[in-house]
Amino acid sequence: MNSLTNPVVSGIERPLGSMEKFFYLLNQDNSNHFAITGEVTGPTRIDQWQDGLDLVAHHSSVVWSRIERGSDGVPMFRSSPRGSVPLKVVSYDGSRWTDEVAAQLAQPIDETKPPLLRATLLHSAERSIIVLAAHHSISDGMSLTFLLGDLLRAVSGQNLLRSQESEAVERLVERRYRATQLGASAHAPEQATEQATEQAAPITRQPKAFRHQDGSAPRVEALRLSSNMTRTLRERARSERTSVQSALVAALVAASHRLAPEACAEPMRVISPVDLRRRLLDHSDHLGMCASAVVLADDGTGRTALWSRARHLGQGFAGLESSPTLAEAVLAKHGALAGVQETADAKTIFANVFAGDAAVTNLGVVTLPQAFGSLVLDAVWGPAIAVGLIGEQVIGAATFNDRLHLVHTSYAPIKGLLDQMSAELLDALANFD
């Protein structure tokens, strides 16, 4: 493989951005790295995958950075010598790739020992499944799918396409919108907690507790909807004046009430990440942490009509349609987090502000091509992630090749959750509120 056809960037030396630092701090006690999985048809060799991983890793400066505190105690990205990305190889013989995802999530990523990316390859001569896992300070679900695309380009002998941008998202947003960052970086942790809490959903709840990290693996399950159901869901969501994301959250809430009513004594709160690339950064495909989040709160009235529930939950996205308004909100949130320097303070903020019972992280329509030379990308799954709260249920969603792919990750899974969510959606598609 000719790596000279693609530039190799030098390392970066800079403080972590506010959200990068926030996930770094949380990761000290509870691993929050995540995984994206691609299913690939076509002839490959294991060494092609290793060479491709090394090439795409050298293309992004953050991968071969370590995170350490500077003399002033501020977490910094530091350059590190480059080598090969760790690649675990198992035979593709019908093995459950979800078990390999779970194994990746159970193994922490040490930010002091780069690279901050690793992979598992389920391999046969004509069929492969690649699982990419990344530290959350350097990537989000969208950018790891873009990296998957570049990996397939590298394996098939094509040039890489991703941007090599390496700045923190708040710097990119500031420059693009010429906005003044709200919230001084000198906020004390308790001030940041108070300010961030004011931006949370308007339901008072006891802070969620973090589970003790004991080295065990979460349960990971997957379900793919048919093309017809996926298309119908998108069309029906538009006609019902809501979104696929809100419908997925509504289906999760309804399924949880049916399968685990004892866990739904209080109105459910569901974390919904917000993609800032599409809304604020012209669809940038660089490797980086460029997401925010809102908490969608069910009203607890017991309504069963999914579309009504979806419209209610969707109110949590109010105000995000305007790019300048969203940019201001993002900078305010980053400003509120800027002064948080310790893991205990980050956990307090997360437990209070993002005290969710579940999360639905939706990549939307993944725009990767299907064909990469002689290779065909058949499916994209993820993100799979467990952020560490007791009892959390995390649903990763991605629409690829006109089919919605769902992944359920949890250390205390509600059994049959994906099947019940599908049943709730099917029932809603057959009925009107």
State residue 303's pLDDT score: 64
**Cβ pair 135, 27 in contact under 8 A:** yes
Q: What is the pLDDT of residues 355-398, one digit of tens each?
A: 789 999 999 999 999 999 999 999 999 999 998 899 999 999 99
Question: What distance in Å separates the CA atoms of residue 102 and residue 110, rounded to the nearest whole number?
Answer: 17
What tens-digit pLDDT sequence spans the chain (433 residues)?
444 344 455 568 999 999 999 999 999 999 999 999 999 999 999 999 999 999 999 999 999 999 999 989 999 999 999 999 999 999 998 679 999 999 999 999 999 999 999 999 999 999 999 999 999 999 999 999 999 999 999 999 999 999 999 999 999 999 888 644 433 333 444 444 444 434 444 445 678 889 988 889 999 999 999 999 999 999 999 999 999 999 999 999 999 999 999 888 788 999 999 999 998 999 999 999 999 999 999 987 666 799 999 999 999 998 787 888 899 889 998 988 999 999 999 999 998 887 789 999 999 999 999 999 999 999 999 999 998 899 999 999 999 999 999 999 999 999 999 999 999 999 999 987 7
Cα 91 to Cα 46, 267, 301, 404, 406: the distances in Å are 11, 45, 50, 27, 24
User: What distance in Å separates the CA atoms of residue 400 and residue 408, rounded to the nearest whole number?
Assistant: 17
Domain ranges within the chain, ordered by starting residue:
3-155, 181-430
CA atoms of 63 and 83, how far apart (whole Å): 11
CATH topology of domain 3-155: Chloramphenicol Acetyltransferase (3.30.559)
Question: Radius of gyration (Cα) for the chain, nearest Å?
Answer: 21
CB 170 within 8 A of CB 330: yes
The predicted structure's pLDDT at residue 285: 95
pTM for the predicted model, two decimal places: 0.92
Fold of 181-430: Chloramphenicol Acetyltransferase (3.30.559)
Write the DSSP string, 15-67: EPPHHHHHHHHHHTTS---EEEEEEEES---HHHHHHHHHHHHHTSTTTTEEE
Cα dist from 319 to 282, 315, 332, 384, whole Å: 19, 9, 14, 28
The token duo for 128 is: 């492969």
Residue 109 CA to residue 67 CA, distance in Å, equals 11
Q: Could you tell me if 363 and 398 are in contact, meaning their C-beta atoms sit under 8 angstroms apart?
A: yes
Fill in the amino acid letter for 23. Answer: F
Cα distance between residue 78 and residue 76, in whole Å: 6
**Nearest to residue 280, comparing CAs of 364, 182, 366, 172?**
172
